[in-house]
Amino acid sequence: MVKTNETQPPMTSYPITELSANAEVLFSVRPEVLAGAVYGLKKVELTVEEAKVMIDQFLEKKVDFDGSR
């Protein structure tokens, strides 16, 4: 019988610097991509899943190439 109300253990948070040092292994991106994804973020720790979501959102952003300044 499968239990449906099992509680999940809390996700472990890691310092962004540690995630950045391991970005290529964890997320298959260079540390600079993680830096761009978390730019301006007030938090100093993230779970691996939170970081992955932020990286995916960052990589999907549109870039405006209209050349106006």
Report pLDDT digits (tens) over 41-51.
999 999 999 99
How many degrees, rounded to 5, is the angle at CA 39 between CA 8 and CA 30? 80
Task: Give the residue with greater pLDDT, 5 vs 39.
Answer: 39
Structure tokens at 17: 């610097």
Strand partners for 15 = 45
pLDDT over 70, % of the chain: 88
Could you tell me the sign of the dihedral formed by the alpha carbons of 30, 60, 53, 41, in that order?
positive
Judging by DSSP bridges, how do beta strands 13-15 and 45-47 pair with one another? Answer: antiparallel
Residue 39: its pLDDT value, please?
96
Task: Give the residue with greater pLDDT, 64 vs 22.
Answer: 22
Q: How far is CA 17 from CA 13, 14, 25, 42, 48, in A?
A: 12, 8, 14, 14, 12
**Domain residues of the chain, as ranges?**
13-60
Confidence of residue 52 (pLDDT cuts 50, 70, 90): very high
